[in-house]
Chains A and B, each alone.
Chain A
Amino acid sequence: MDDWASYERMVLIRCFEEAVERLFSEGRIMGTAHVCIGQEAVAVGVAAALRPGDALTSTHRGHGHFIAVGGDPGRMMAEMFGKATGYSRGRGGSQMMADTALGFYGSNGITAGSMAFACGLALEAQHRRTGRAVVCIIGDGAANEGLFHESLNLAALWRLPLVVICENNRYAMSTPVAAGLANTRLAERGAAYGIPGCAVDGNVVADVRAAVETALARARAGSGPSLVECETYRLSGHSKGDPRAYRSPAEEADAWQREPIRHLEAHLRAAGNTDPARFAACRTRAEQAIAVAIRFAEASPAPDPATVTEGVFASD
């Protein structure tokens, strides 16, 4: 992915998330959703570092991760609308979508809930020597779950081809990092398991990509897992209806100055891309794609209630 491709993908994620917020406020979709406005560079940087066949697991805030690896906004939107054409046929909603054909092994509504699962995906890759590497994205809040520690220890002991990305967006719901982590230098936790831990500017897509590529190279070489902390900021609320009383407008305004799309725009301009029409065209294409996605979702049939108990078990 070159800078323009990254830019295009980040803008697509941004438009998707803006649409989700709008659809909620208009009462057109129900349930819950956690949008990732401000964190697009992590999703796209990770996706840029992955190779075909690699696997990715995600969090409750997973729309961006999924779009970054090629998730279809139409089927994602249909899932948000609870339609039969959605990735989980209306059974997963915002927090639970997967497409193994894309290597996307699911967003997950349990904080840290995919970490050991990702170890297992990596174990299969190691055992059968498939060459696959696995990236597991979690949030800073997830780093305080027992599963974080158990999984990193297991992955390190077994030298699994795994990269754990901690998307440190400064808050777990309303809990600031400093109120959740006794040692806020999260990347230092790698040392506790004898694996590399590094922190990068998660608003700079090239930095994310480079750090993840390094970690993936290590994983592919059989040297085991790494922990990559991406320092970013959740510009949106935690989920819909979050009044964001736990932080100040000044803090948010400051974060908007450093948000990843703006940052990449500045970078592209500095590299000589000064035509405003090119940036505008990106935005227009993304908005059109999301409009198409919404139309597809709205026009899609609802799932048949008679099928509600279908598929609890796979056919043996």
Chain B
Amino acid sequence: MLMKTFTLAIRETLAAEMRRDPSVMLMGEDIGAYGGAFGVTQGLLAEFGPGRVRDTPISEQALVGAAIGAAAAGLRPVVEIMFMDFITLAVDQLANLAAKLHYIYQIPCPLVVRAPTGGGRGYGATHSQTLERLFTGIPGLRIAAPADAADASGLLQTALRGANPVLFLEHKLLYPLRWKIGGNLPPPVPFGRARITHSGDRVTLIAWSYMAHLCLAAAHQLAAAGITAEVVDLRTLAPLDTETLVTAARKTGRVLIVEEGPVTGGFGAEIATRIFEAAYDSLDAPIRRLAGPNCPIPASKVLESACIPDIAAIAAAARDLAESAN
């Protein structure tokens, strides 16, 4: 088995899809010779040329809007937003155009917007946010948030073969991590199917993206301490696999939802409500949320760490929940 980084899995998937389908085109700031701020598109310009790997000016709104137009005309553009924080500049195009093209005009919009997300690198308040919460309330957009390399590749393949706009979240701390995946690409991963990454019966941990990765690590720690956790990695937020997460909640009766980003208005609240509505009678304790405090992400390492759940905090919260009285 070969080891592959999350970065490489995405790069190789993009390359393979571009070889397979000439309508796939990359657009973004400094994605060409520079290879993107996180190196994801390195080498793609050399293989595919500037017609298909397009450096754009720093114009998030126009770049996303142009990608939407190109998608409406039949291309398959993949946009890179350098840091997800900058997607706010393009929210109009995504919310008012991409999300509505099919519903109102019956025009399919096969667009993928890749966005490096999350904190942990000390980049500060405008380069560290997780903003999927802004989009989960907009019907018409799909949101993928892989937590490992195989899912990153599999979900990206699905995104690139579908007919709808997809927001594709790449956590910056996942990029350098290595996973066992073979030389060939893993199979496509369907949207709307969460994955149980660790099996247990004392407590259910629910997360996505980097937090799902941390939940798995926390589950290993908990298992060593005799507490088995069921870990649900959502993989996509839209569509949301309510069935799998309700089943997991029923299995353990105790649910901890782990989310990066401020607790207020977080997607965790939606998940909690769905579980509560469907599995109220199976719950042995109130659903808990572990999320960031309601503040912007500070730059200082100690302060930033205080804003983002880590393995120790997840394990502690899970243990606390598992041991709480009925």
Partner of A120, one of B59, B69, B103, B163: B69
Q: How many residues of A contact B (CB 8 A)?
A: 42
Flag whether A100 is at the interface (Cβ < 8 A). Answer: yes
A147 to B77, CA, bound (A): 19
Flag whether A115 is at the interface (Cβ < 8 A). Answer: yes
Q: Are B68 and A120 in contact, with the CB atoms below 8 A?
A: yes
Partner of B103, one of A115, A158, A311: A311
A314 to B59, CA, bound (A): 28
| Closest B residue by C-beta to A88 | B104
Over the window 274-307 of chain B, the binary record of Cβ atoms lying under 8 Å from chain A Cβ atoms (1 yes, 0 no) is 0000000000000000000000000000000000
Whether A313 contacts B102 in the complex (CB less than 8 A), given A110-B96, A117-B72, A157-B57, comes out as yes
Q: Are A151 and B65 in contact, with the CB atoms below 8 A?
A: yes
In the complex, chain B residues whose CB is within 8 Å of the CB of A127: 25, 51, 70, 75
Q: Are A154 and B66 in contact, with the CB atoms below 8 A?
A: yes
Expressed in whole angstroms, the minimum distance between the Cβ of A199 and any Cβ of chain B is 24
In the complex, chain A residues whose CB is within 8 Å of the CB of B108: 314
Q: Are A147 and B61 in contact, with the CB atoms below 8 A?
A: yes
A123 to B54, CA, bound (A): 11
Most A-side CB within 10 Å, residue of B25, B51, B62, B140:
B62
Q: Are A153 and B59 in contact, with the CB atoms below 8 A?
A: yes
A313 to B163, CA, bound (A): 8
A3 to B70, CA, bound (A): 35
Expressed in whole angstroms, the minimum distance between the Cβ of A297 and any Cβ of chain B is 18
In the complex, chain B residues whose CB is within 8 Å of the CB of A198: none
Over the window 158-199 of chain A, the binary record of Cβ atoms lying under 8 Å from chain B Cβ atoms (1 yes, 0 no) is 100000000000000000000000000000000000000000
Most B-side CB within 10 Å, residue of A98, A120, A147, A157:
A120
Flag whether A237 is at the interface (Cβ < 8 A). Answer: no
Q: Are A314 and B164 in contact, with the CB atoms below 8 A?
A: yes
| Closest B residue by C-beta to A109 | B96
B residues 105-148 near A (Cβ < 8 Å) are 105-109, 139-140, 142
Flag whether B219 is at the interface (Cβ < 8 A). Answer: no
| Closest A residue by C-beta to B238 | A313
In the complex, chain B residues whose CB is within 8 Å of the CB of A106: 105, 107
Over the window 102-140 of chain A, the binary record of Cβ atoms lying under 8 Å from chain B Cβ atoms (1 yes, 0 no) is 000110111001111111111111011000000000000
Most A-side CB within 10 Å, residue of B61, B64, B77, B97:
B61
A296 to B108, CA, bound (A): 28
Partner of B97, one of A88, A117, A119, A154: A117
In the complex, chain B residues whose CB is within 8 Å of the CB of A311: 102-103, 106
Q: Are A120 and B65 in contact, with the CB atoms below 8 A?
A: yes
Partner of A150, one of B62, B72, B74: B62
Number of A-B contacts (CB under 8 A): 134
Whether A312 contacts B140 in the complex (CB less than 8 A), given A113-B92, A120-B73, A154-B56, comes out as yes
Flag whether A91 is at the interface (Cβ < 8 A). Answer: yes
Q: Are B70 and A124 in contact, with the CB atoms below 8 A?
A: yes
| Closest B residue by C-beta to A308 | B103
A91 to B105, CA, bound (A): 9
B residues 66-92 near A (Cβ < 8 Å) are 66-75, 77, 92
A311 to B140, CA, bound (A): 9
In the complex, chain B residues whose CB is within 8 Å of the CB of A251: none
Q: Are A98 and B103 in contact, with the CB atoms below 8 A?
A: no
A70 to B62, CA, bound (A): 29
Expressed in whole angstroms, the minimum distance between the Cβ of A143 and any Cβ of chain B is 14
Q: Are B70 and A120 in contact, with the CB atoms below 8 A?
A: yes
Q: Are B109 and A314 in contact, with the CB atoms below 8 A?
A: yes
Flag whether A248 is at the interface (Cβ < 8 A). Answer: no
In the complex, chain A residues whose CB is within 8 Å of the CB of B142: 313
Most B-side CB within 10 Å, residue of A110, A158, A316:
A316
Some 24 contacts from A to B, beta carbons below 8 A apart, are: A98-B106, A98-B107, A100-B107, A105-B72, A110-B96, A113-B96, A114-B97, A116-B61, A116-B68, A116-B69, A119-B66, A119-B69, A120-B67, A120-B73, A147-B65, A147-B92, A150-B62, A154-B56, A154-B59, A311-B102, A311-B106, A312-B139, A315-B163, A316-B164
Question: Which residues of B are in contact with A by a Cβ distance under 8 Å?
Answer: 25, 51, 54, 56-57, 59, 61-75, 77, 92-93, 96-97, 100, 102-109, 139-140, 142, 161-164
| Known pairs A147-B65, A311-B106 / 13 extra A-B pairs, C-beta < 8 Å | A92-B105, A106-B107, A110-B92, A115-B62, A116-B61, A116-B65, A121-B69, A123-B75, A124-B75, A153-B62, A313-B163, A314-B108, A314-B164
